């Protein structure tokens, strides 16, 4: 695996990145080795004195930090991926070749357990982990064995590969692409078999003469299941290959004739807008599907780090101990970060949460916290922006109005249609509501949007209330019903552009599916509110309110935007 060994074999060099949509909160792997999860040492919060500010200048309320959640063994972590803000894997080995181990956490790194492998074994190290959605993922053991999960928990061998490659990616649970020297290989069976589909050759003008030359592929990226890009190079020339049919066919074009594309990285926000980082650390952008590229100033990062985006506005690239980032999806800035070891890989599941891994079990977690927060080992970091949209407030208002209606209307009997009030499994695939919780000192999992949902479960039917005349709900709670309708209508208007602007790029397929999902949810919610208004009696009103409550909880849990603005409580 050329990519892996160049990155980590010689000096263990570095690399790294899902908003709309983070994946479902996953339970610990059932196939995991029985053992007590390792919890990092608790840190105490202390208050930092406020710095003086100029008159008329508003003091910042929040800041970005990196804080240690490291694994307490001297292991080499080569890659990391988080399906959402809390559920993720850090993989590597005793060294770059042997002692393969897969670490798993379900609480944002507060506890890590070994879900696969043994650092004392001679089994090859794990590397290069990828996911298309919260269930379908792949990783390599050594450079021959590809493992796959179809439930986000248990891993099995998908296939074996004999050869060398630089990068690989999956456009869907079954279709994957691999860059190997001058070839692109493709699988249509989830990684079991790979077939070459394209050989890179391009005509270059040299001293007035045309020369057909081979080119070498580097990184791959698919912003959609059909459209994908691959960066390649020949000498000092950067070449771009593009597919419009899921990798079955490709065409090449000359991207940057005077910039070496060796060790180049490419990432596209959508099918037309993307970024390219070349070997000297320079960033370029395009808005026309890779036809023309414009150099970006203000950012430079060495090594061979990947580019990863939480959503179309917030993206990172971390190499060694330098972090390049964009807050608007256009301009980039770089900043040195005082990590205790070089960063080998990183993940950015949401704009307010990220993870970086490296040598000696190093794992650091990025969070947005109050400016007064401080903890042992904390490192200052750039502050990522919040969501400048009314949609999170609208979802919070819907939740609040439903809670007020529950206090005024009788509860539904157990088993009543529409009586389910908890959001479906998959809790933290989203969250429009504000996350005002953090891991406790006891290491309990971080509460999800589901666990905070108002009025979940346990409602008993008031059997003493007989049938009521038409207009029952209006006579009881007319202003609240009107507020509920108004807010739902406003949400239906604002949610589609919101989901497009902040769609999840950590899990590409879930991000693409969310737009249709949120439109359907908004329309269904409006219909359910109409049914609530038309309820003829208390029993019908209670059942209809339960349906509305369930749908509001589902919208909240699949939104993908939970801003973590809190710190660890004092033990």
In this predicted model, what pLDDT tens digit does every residue of 3-39 receive, in sequence order?
A: 433 333 333 333 333 333 333 333 344 444 434 566 5
Q: How is 334-400 classified by DSSP, letter by letter?
A: EEE---SS-EEEEEEEETTEEEEEESTT-EEEEEEEETT---TT-EEEPPPP---SSHHHHHHHHHH
Domains and CATH numbers, the chain: 2-36+60-381 (2.130.10.10), 391-557 (no CATH)
Buried b (16+ CB within 10 A) or exposed e, 280-301: ebbbbbbeebbeebeebeebbb
State percent of the chain over pLDDT 90.
Answer: 59
Give the per-residue pLDDT at 323: 94
pLDDT at 241 over 60: yes
Give the per-residue pLDDT at 469: 46
Give the per-residue pLDDT at 455: 35
Cα-Cα-Cα-Cα torsion 243, 499, 555, 227, nearest 10 degrees, comes to: 0
Give the per-residue pLDDT at 31: 40
pLDDT tens column, 482-491: 999 999 999 9
Give the per-residue pLDDT at 569: 35
> Mean of the pLDDT values across residues 394-415?
84
Report the range of poorest mean pLDDT among 130-134, 311-315, 439-443, 520-524. 439-443
Q: How confident is the model at residue 557 (pLDDT cuts 50, 70, 90)?
A: confident
Give the per-residue pLDDT at 381: 97
pLDDT at 458 over 60: no
Q: Is the dihedral of CA 205, 208, 210, 213 positive or negative?
A: negative
pLDDT tens column, 173-214: 999 999 999 999 999 999 999 999 999 998 887 778 888 889
Q: Which residue has the tokens 């602007």?
A: 501
Tokens of 83: 């399906």
């Amino acid at each position: 695996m050329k990519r892996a060994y160049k990155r980590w074999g010689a000096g263990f060099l570095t690399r790294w990145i899902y908003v709309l949509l983070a994946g479902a909160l996953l339970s610990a792997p059932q196939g995991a080795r029985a053992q007590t999860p390792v919890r990092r040492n608790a840190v105490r919060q202390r208050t930092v004195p406020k710095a003086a500010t100029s008159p008329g200048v508003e003091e910042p309320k929040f800041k970005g930090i990196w804080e240690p959640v490291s694994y307490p063994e001297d292991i080499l972590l080569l890659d990391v991926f988080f399906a959402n803000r809390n559920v993720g894997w850090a993989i590597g080995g005793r060294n770059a070749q042997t002692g393969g181990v897969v670490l798993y956490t379900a609480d944002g790194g507060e506890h890590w357990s070994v879900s696969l492998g043994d650092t004392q074994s001679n089994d090859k190290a794990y590397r290069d982990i990828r996911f298309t959605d919260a269930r379908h993922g792949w990783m390599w053991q050594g450079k021959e064995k590809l493992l796959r999960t179809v439930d986000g928990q248990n891993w099995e061998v998908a296939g074996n590969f004999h050869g060398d490659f630089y990068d690989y990616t999956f456009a869907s649970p079954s279709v994957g692409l691999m860059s190997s020297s001058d070839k692109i290989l493709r699988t249509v069976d989830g990684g079991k078999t790979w077939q070459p589909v394209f050989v890179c050759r391009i005509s270059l003008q040299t001293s007035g003469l045309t020369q057909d030359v081979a080119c070498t592929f580097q990184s791959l990226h698919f912003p959609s299941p059909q459209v994908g890009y691959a960066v390649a190079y020949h000498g000092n020339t950067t070449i771009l290959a593009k597919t419009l049919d899921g990798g079955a066919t490709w065409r090449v074009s000359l991207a940057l004739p005077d910039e070496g594309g060796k060790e180049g990285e490419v990432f596209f926000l959508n099918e037309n807008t993307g970024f390219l980082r070349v070997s000297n650390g320079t960033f370029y952008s395009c808005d026309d599907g890779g036809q023309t590229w414009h150099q970006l100033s203000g950012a430079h990062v060495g090594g061979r780090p990947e580019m990863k985006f939480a959503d179309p506005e917030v993206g990172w690239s971390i190499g060694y101990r330098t972090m390049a980032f964009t807050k608007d999806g256009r301009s980039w800035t770089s900043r040195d970060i005082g990590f205790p070891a070089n960063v080998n890989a990183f993940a950015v599941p949401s704009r307010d949460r990220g993870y970086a891994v490296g040598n000696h079990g190093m794992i650091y977690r990025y969070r947005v916290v109050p400016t007064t927060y401080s903890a042992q080992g904390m490192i200052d970091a750039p502050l990522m922006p919040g969501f400048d949209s009314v949609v999170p407030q609208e979802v919070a208002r819907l939740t609040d109005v439903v809670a007020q209606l529950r206090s005024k209307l009788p509860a539904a009997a157990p088993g009543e249609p529409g009586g389910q009030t908890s959001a479906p499994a998959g809790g933290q695939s989203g969250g429009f509501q504000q996350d005002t919780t953090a891991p406790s000192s006891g290491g309990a999992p971080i509460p999800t949007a589901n666990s905070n949902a108002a009025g979940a479960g346990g409602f008993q039917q008031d059997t003493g209330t007989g049938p009521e005349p038409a207009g029952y709900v209006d006579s009881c709670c007319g202003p609240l019903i009107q507020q509920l309708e108004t807010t739902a209508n406003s949400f239906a208007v604002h949610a589609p552009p919101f989901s497009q602007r902040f769609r999840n790029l950590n899990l590409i397929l879930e991000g693409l599916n969310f737009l249709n999902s949120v439109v359907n949810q908004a329309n269904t919610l409006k219909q359910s509110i109409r049914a609530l208004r038309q309820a003829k009696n208390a029993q019908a009103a209670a059942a209809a309110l339960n349906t509305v409550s369930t749908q509001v909880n589902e919208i909240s849990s699949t939104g993908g935007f939970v801003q973590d603005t809190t710190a660890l409580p004092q033990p």
